[in-house]
Structure 1
Amino acid sequence: MFRVFAGVLLSAIFALPAHAARCGGDFNSFVAAMSAEASAAGISQSVISQALDGVTEDAKVLQFDRRQRGTFDKTFEQYVSTRVGAGRIKAGRAMLLRHASLLSRIERQFGVPPQILVAIWGLESDFGKGDMGKMPVVRTLATLAHDCRRTELFQGELLAALKILQRGDLPLRDLVGAFAGEIGQTQFLPSSYIKYGVDFDGNGHVDLRHSVPDVLASTANLLHTAGWHPGGSYEEGSANFQVMREWNRATIYRKTIGYFADRLVGQ
């Protein structure tokens, strides 16, 4: 979801203090400062130690961050042809049928139509079967927070990731994701995970890696909170197309969501 890299730049769930950890310089000193910030934000010492003790910087994350900005340098036709083929449309229609009851309940509660949710799900992780990322989220976010390019954003995301651990939504072994710290089947940044995550299967945790009900309901909740108009158009220029900017700021990606959604319902 984050990239425009597919994504959304939401404000971090924690407000950073006036004297946030200073980016750059010695990495271990930065991690120590972030540990103090986490403690001040109410994260337990056991969670801080579990997550941050011995964490190291990841040069691959910085390399990816520097080169990813050309992701959408294609025409819509070029881009959509690589993302929405006959096989993915067929799989998406099967998902609409398999999860029809669940998607209906989600639409009643949040107002977002099934085909939009299934399109996003398919594009982000091939309906949970594709690559959700294998990067340790804490290490990724600590690396990006230490880098001075967007330190405030990623300091907030690192604190949110620790909050996910503290809530017990995911164990550290499952807190893995993509190159900007995105987590789960629809690739939520940790702050979005905290802000929009829904425990729709009722097990007491928001699990966006393994629980399809939680994944789809949380995705719908983000769009609902952003102002989705139930029953409205989502074509380019519509209010709902603008709402989808909170999912992904790239026009080409939002057009692809709409195109895929229409193919799923035979339009």
Structure 2
Amino acid sequence: MTTISVAVPRKGRPLEAVLERLATTAAFTEIADDVISTLRYEKAITKDDATPDAPVYDRLAAYSDLDDPTRPEYTLLRDDREGMPRRVVFDSLTVPVDGIDLRLVGREEPFRSLRKHEFALGFDSADLVLEEVVQLRDDPLTEIAAINERIDPVDTDVRVVTGMGDTVYHTLLGTPAVRKSLPHDLSREFLSAYEGDLCISPRYERLVEAVIGTDALRDIEFVYPENGREEEAAIAEAGLGVYLTVTGSTARDHGLELGEQLFPSETVLLENRSEVGDGVDRVTELFAAPDESVLALQ
């Protein structure tokens, strides 16, 4: 049976999106749920929100079954939190899918693994693609479907195939006072007329430039939250900012109004076109198909 390796994140929302897509098939539901719950538990331990029931190496041994390739494997990484605790993260899992052994392989940065031609397929956040390779233009980038046309073929052979639907949004947020300073709703039109500070997370600087467009940023200066400060609190102090929102409740708690959803932050299926070979097209079809029931696990 042909084995196709696919790079996936080691933890977090993008990995959960991939597992949840596979879990639409009953045969894989239990394993997917087990991986998701295990990693959420380990995240809670790392954040001191849960008390471990065993030492980390004992937990790692209990989670993994090296004699059964159809069971998930995990590994340990140093977390970047204070004290650099060890964190249990996803390593690999092989799933028989429609005559193909689909091998999910954990990577810290799947997109960069594809750029280095280590994999033909992978999943990562669309945010990273915007941060690394899309061209900055005067006009804004507004949807995932438009990403590929802004990727210079000289930069990379990797392209976005489809999104996984786990969408949250980079949203324009502002205080009522700032919003009332211009005769516009909180939108790209507002930004085009606005002059002043715009508070963003420093890791999203290039992304914000891409989704707002360089023309609207001519009279805007980026400011950033101080280390350890909550982004919504920093935006409330600056008066205007861009940050990820799901329900917007935290933003409202800080007295902020929700404006335009500037761009979806979503897990995307990526393909390195120069590495496509036997079986890869079939795996791409399985994940990209609008009818998730085509994931016919054996």
- Range of TM-score over shorter length: under 0.3
Work out which structure has the larger RCO, using CA pairs closer than 8 Å and 6 or more positions apart in sequence.
1
Q: So what's the TM-score if we normalise by structure 2?
A: 0.24
What TM-score, normalized by structure 1, do the two folds share? 0.25
Structure number with greater Rg is 2
The structure with the largest helix share of the pair is 1
More strand by share: 2
